[in-house]
Amino acid sequence: MPIKNRQNSTSPPDRKILIFSSPSGAGKTTIVKHLLKTFPNLAFSVSATTRPRRDHEEDGKDYYFLSMNEFRNKIEEDAFVEWEEVYKGTYYGTLKSEVQRLLDRGYHVVFDVDVKGALNIKKLYGKQALAVFVMPPSIEELHNRLRNRSADSEESIRERVAKARQEMKYADKFDIKLVNDKLAESLPKAEDIVKNFIEK
Q: What are the tens digits of pLDDT across the range 110-124? A: 998 889 889 999 998
| Pairing of β 129-135 and β 48-49 | unpaired
Model confidence at 166, pLDDT cuts 50, 70, 90, reads confident
Whether 3 is in a domain gets the answer no
Lowest mean pLDDT among 32-41, 80-89, 142-151, 185-194: 142-151
Whether 17 is in a domain gets the answer yes
Strand partners, 135: 179
Q: What's the whole-model pTM score?
A: 0.79
Reported as a single tens digit per residue, the pLDDT across 41-75 is: 999 999 999 999 999 999 999 999 999 999 999 99
Whether 2 is in a domain gets the answer no
Number of domains in the chain: 1
The mean pLDDT of 96-120, rounded to a whole number, is 92
> Is the pLDDT score of 4 beyond 50?
no
Whether 182 is in a domain gets the answer yes
Q: What is the pLDDT of residue 150?
A: 64
Q: Roughly how many angstroms between the first and final C-alpha of the chain, as a whole number? A: 30
How many Å separate Cα 176 from the centre of its chain? 14
Measured CA to CA, the distance from residue 100 to residue 105 in angstroms comes to 9
Report percent pLDDT > 70 for the chain: 92
> Is the pLDDT score of 183 beyond 60?
yes
CATH of the domain at 18: 3.40.50.300
- CB environment 137-166: b (16+ within 10 A), e (fewer): eeeeebbebbeeeeeeeeeebeebbebbee
What's the mean pLDDT when you consider all of the chain? 88
Domain that holds residue 68: 8-199
Q: Quick check: 134 and 31 in contact, CB under 8 A?
A: yes
115 vs 12, more confident:
115
Q: What is the pLDDT of residue 3?
A: 42
